[in-house]
Amino acid sequence: MEIISHSYRRHGSIEFIFDRFPLSRVLFYPIKNYYFIKHVKWNPLDPEVKTDDLEEMQLLVNEFLGCIEFYKQRKAYKEKRTKNTYNPM
């Protein structure tokens, strides 16, 4: 997935359009030192947006904006990484 375009909105929010969902707009808001999806203005002509798609969008946007290290410090991000990692004692 790639970012097609972005535009700045009020209150520090940024709207992004992604190549996989070209007719839908994804609104990101700043939380602490990173950006998080607040709302997806989904267009029915686009494929359904799944949870994995949302996570990929957040990673792409935070990397694009230079906030990726702050995003990866989130508790939820760390917990997901440890659950998906195989650790045979």
> What does the pLDDT look like over 21-42, one tens digit per residue?
999 999 999 988 999 999 999 9
Instruction: For residue 66, tell me if it sits in a domain.
Output: yes
Q: In the predicted model, is pLDDT for residue 50 greater than 60? A: yes
* Domain coverage including residue 19: 3-83
Instruction: For residue 7, tell me if it sits in a domain.
Output: yes
Instruction: For residue 89, tell me if it sits in a domain.
Output: no
Sign of the C-alpha dihedral, residues 42, 35, 15, 17? negative
What is the number of structural domains in the chain? 1
Instruction: For residue 36, tell me if it sits in a domain.
Output: yes
Instruction: For residue 63, tell me if it sits in a domain.
Output: yes
Q: In the predicted model, is pLDDT for residue 79 greater than 90? A: no
pLDDT band at 85 (very low <50, low <70, confident <90, very high): low
Mean pLDDT of the chain, nearest integer: 87
| Separation of alpha carbons 3 and 43, rounded Å | 17
Instruction: For residue 26, tell me if it sits in a domain.
Output: yes
**Percentage of the chain lying above the pLDDT 70 cut:** 83
Q: Would you state the pLDDT for residue 2? A: 95
Q: Which amino acid, 86?
A: Y
